[in-house]
Amino acid sequence: MDTHTPMPITTPEDMQKSREWAQGFFSRATDLPISFVLDGVGCRGIPDAWSPSVTRRRIDASIIETVFEGTDPATGLTIRVEVAEYLDFPVVEWVAWFTNAGSGPTPVISDILAMDGMLKGASPVVYHCNGDFYSADGYTPQEIPLPQGETLRFAPTGGRPCDGAFPYTRITFGDWGIAMAIGWPAQWAVSFAGLADGVHLRAGQEQTHLRLLPGEHIRTPRMTVLSWAGDTSRAVNLWRRWYLAHVLPRPDGRPMRPHLACATSDEGEEFTAATEENQIRFIEAFNQRGIHPDVWWIDAGWYPCYNETGERRWWNTGTWEPDPERFPRGLKPVSDYAADKGADLLLWFEPERVRPGTKLDREHPEWLLRATGNDTSLLFLGNPEARQWLTDHVCTLIADNGIRIYRQDHNFEPLKHWRENEAEDRQGMNENLHVQGYLQYWDDLLARNPGLWIDSCSSGGRRNDLETMRRSVPLHYTDYGYGDHPVKLAFHRTLFEWIPYFKEFTISWDLQGGSRYDHSVDSYSFHCGMAPMVFASLDIRRDDYDFTLAARMIDIWRRASALILHGDYYPHTPFHHSAERWVAWQFDSPETGRGFIQGIRLPAAAEETLTIHPKGIDPDSEYAFENPETGESREYAGSDLERDGFTFALPPRSGALWLYWRCDKR
């Protein structure tokens, strides 16, 4: 008999906290937490004079949608606010649409906020981080008390939502709090003002000052708010579970699973030297070495990308077709061969960046936005003709080349391209239309290619807001520190709290003289590379690797990977990126009684041991532990683990992963 019943992940207290704050915002149209200025007059919610209506329907077993809608009789401006209330998690989401239903342009609409409201609570503290910006200091969490009279404001840089800021935030009020996400894949802004009895929150597209032409519509960011009662670990794991249940994509209707990715590009910059012949040869070589990838990865450079001197440069984007010199039959022979070995083809694109002289630049300059001092043009996805062409063209490439994973990058700041091409009374319009087109493009790719999934990349992880994440996973969450283990383990600590699915390399930069591009393999590199997707960074052309060791570590990762993705997450060491300290964390599945703990002693850590106290342990149960790398096993009483903890004893620059299970769950 199972004597241990884990605490429900969603409790009545959580749901009550959610109702308490939401009732003040979503009971009436005039109370909605949106605001704007129309022709110089400030408005909140949908005014009574607009004759607002309310409709309510059940979306599915877990979601009830309430729609508030009203029209200004003087201008024809219609506002529609769609509110989703989750029944299985303490989560409420909303997005507002502004449509010109009149016969002439609207007056100027400005300062549109998707969130403008107060949350009541004592001693507020804001938790946020600084996103990704190609720095060891990226993803650094910050904890800022917000006393009365103090204001905190932040926004990303250059128009990509995670560039120097992060659109995911927590606010705690003692023993409860909220987690808030701003779903806007562009330039958002948020502010928190401390009040005597709470916080005033304002969030939205950073700049709006525009008229809508007849029939035009714009939207706000989608706001997501999760409430919880208790400590921060409950906030983290409620979010992770809600994300897995309702956000993480489900290709072919099935939950995402962990994946092993492999690639070899041969000599040359990125994949500019990749050919049909060498890609097939490398796939075969991995399999012969006992490495069986789930994903075969082809990154930038597979298309014609010649510069003016005839050299291939991967960043010369704008001609989207397989290079006929290297792939005379397209990529289908490669994808077919990969599929025969059990791997899906992942292919890199960067459709929004158009370089001079490429096909899009020559044939459709009218689809491009240009900016001063920048010879890169932006393919404007707010242009329906451009978006439809791109959709049709890429869908043909997907079908003809057997692409199963569409990887989209975005390696420049788009904000100047949007803003420099707007009139004084259309500020924010290009950005808004581009966002709508970008999301529609991805929705159409997914709808027209069943089973396809999308990898979001943007100079690393700079476009991973929640609207993007609903359609994709961020496999390449940064361009920084691939083999710098102390730094990337710090990145992991933040990412595991917010975005459960990402990829990690198994590169070590501190071997063989510290070469930045060294791909040497050892068990330590795998310990530092544990993520839902692992990119086995093995140069298959070399004979001096211990491929047997690599295969064994991949098997260990496969045993642990489902827990990394689906388990509750408990960090046991603070955020840091010092080589002089340890890193330890735990993933636990209370439903199955299984989990693992992992300790990593970084190279300069002086302490020979580290003791942690595992979470989620039943003191009345017995636990079995196994180290799959060494074969060692241990048994503990739950009460002993709670009292004495678990001790790692490791040499410098090494790690240990211990799988465990409650003995009644073996």
Q: Could you read off the pLDDT of 119-137 as tens digits, one per residue?
A: 999 999 999 999 999 999 9
pLDDT > 90? residue 516: no
Provide the pLDDT for residue 90.
98
Amino acid at 164: G
CA dist 517 and 478 (Å) reads 16
Residues composing the chain? 666
Which CATH code of 3.20.20.70, 3.30.450.20, 3.40.50.300, 3.40.50.1860 fits the domain covering 259-413+451-565?
A: 3.20.20.70
CA dist 246 and 240 (Å) reads 10
Q: What are phi and psi of 513, to 5 degrees?
A: 85, 5
pLDDT > 90? residue 16: yes
Per DSSP, the three-state class of 158 is coil
Fold agreement between 12-246 and 569-665: no
159: which 2 tokens?
């128009």
Q: Where are the beta strands (DSSP E) in 307-415?
A: 344-349, 353-354, 368-371, 374-379, 403-408
Distance of CA 21 to the CA centre of its chain: 27
Instruction: Using DSSP bridges, classify how beta strands 344-349 and 403-408 pair: parallel, antiparallel or unpaired.
Output: parallel
Stretch 506-515: mean pLDDT: 74
Residue 543's CB is within 10 A of a number of other CB atoms, namely 6
**Cβ(34)–Cβ(47) under 8 Å?**
no
Residues 627-649 pLDDT 10s: 999 999 999 999 999 999 999 99
Residues 306-341 pLDDT 10s: 998 899 999 999 999 999 999 999 999 999 999 999
Name the residue ranges covered by the structural domains of the chain.
12-246, 259-413+451-565, 569-665
Provide the pLDDT for residue 1.
30
Q: What are phi and psi of 241, to 5 degrees?
A: -70, -40
- Tell me 634's DSSP state: E
Residues 410-431 pLDDT 10s: 999 999 999 999 999 999 999 9
Per DSSP, the three-state class of 366 is helix
Instruction: Using DSSP bridges, classify how beta strands 568-571 and 403-408 pair: parallel, antiparallel or unpaired.
Output: unpaired
Report long-range pairs for 1-6 (Cβ below 8 Å, ≥24 apart): 2/664, 3/618, 3/620, 3/621, 3/664, 4/593, 4/618, 4/620, 4/621, 4/662, 6/590, 6/591, 6/616
The structure's pTM equals 0.96
Q: What separation, in Å, do the N-terminal and C-terminal C-alpha atoms of the chain show?
A: 13
Query: In CATH, which superfamily holds the domain spanning 12-246?
Result: alpha-galactosidase from lactobacil brevis (2.70.98.60)
Provide the pLDDT for residue 3.
36
Helix axes 384-401, 332-340, angle to 10 degrees: 50
Residues 209-254 pLDDT 10s: 999 999 999 999 999 999 999 999 999 999 999 999 999 999 999 9
Per DSSP, the three-state class of 650 is coil
Tokens 């209707």, residue located: 253
Provide the pLDDT for residue 4.
40
Q: In what order do the strands lie in the sheet with 582-589?
A: 568-571, 582-589, 594-601, 654-662, 622-626, 633-637
Tokens 């642990």, residue located: 560
pLDDT > 90? residue 160: yes
186: which 2 tokens?
């562009």
Provide the pLDDT for residue 395.
98
Provide the pLDDT for residue 6.
47
| Residue partners of 255: CB distance under 8 A and separation at least 6 | 244, 248
| Residue partners of 52: CB distance under 8 A and separation at least 6 | 29, 30, 46, 68, 69, 70
Instruction: Using DSSP bridges, classify how beta strands 609-612 and 622-626 pair: parallel, antiparallel or unpaired.
Output: unpaired
Residues 437-449 pLDDT 10s: 999 999 999 999 9
Provide the pLDDT for residue 640.
97
CA dist 65 and 487 (Å) reads 42
* Nearest Cα residue to 442 out of 429, 453, 451, 432: 453
Report the percent of the chain where pLDDT is more than 90.
93
pLDDT > 60? residue 515: no
CA dist 650 and 658 (Å) reads 13
pLDDT > 60? residue 189: yes
Tokens 């003087």, residue located: 74
Residues 604-627 pLDDT 10s: 999 999 999 999 999 999 999 999
* Nearest Cα residue to 528 out of 473, 585, 568: 585
Tokens 């070995």, residue located: 341
* Nearest Cα residue to 503 out of 455, 556, 451, 574: 455
Provide the pLDDT for residue 510.
85
Q: Where are the beta strands (DSSP E) in 20-106?
A: 35-38, 41-44, 53-58, 63-71, 77-86, 91-100
471: which 2 tokens?
């359609």
Provide the pLDDT for residue 512.
62
**Cβ(177)–Cβ(235) under 8 Å?**
yes
pLDDT > 90? residue 139: yes
CATH 2.60.40.1180 fits 569-665, yes or no: yes
* Nearest Cα residue to 514 out of 547, 491, 484: 484
Stretch 89-95: mean pLDDT: 98
Residue 288's CB is within 10 A of a number of other CB atoms, namely 10
Provide the pLDDT for residue 511.
75
Q: Please count the CA atoms within 13 angstroms of the CA of 307 that sit on its side-chain side.
A: 8
**Cβ(313)–Cβ(387) under 8 Å?**
no
CA dist 278 and 476 (Å) reads 24
Residue 548's CB is within 10 A of a number of other CB atoms, namely 10
CA dist 573 and 575 (Å) reads 7
- Tell me 593's DSSP state: T
Stretch 64-75: mean pLDDT: 98
- Tell me 165's DSSP state: S
Stretch 82-86: mean pLDDT: 98
What average pLDDT is seen over the chain? 95
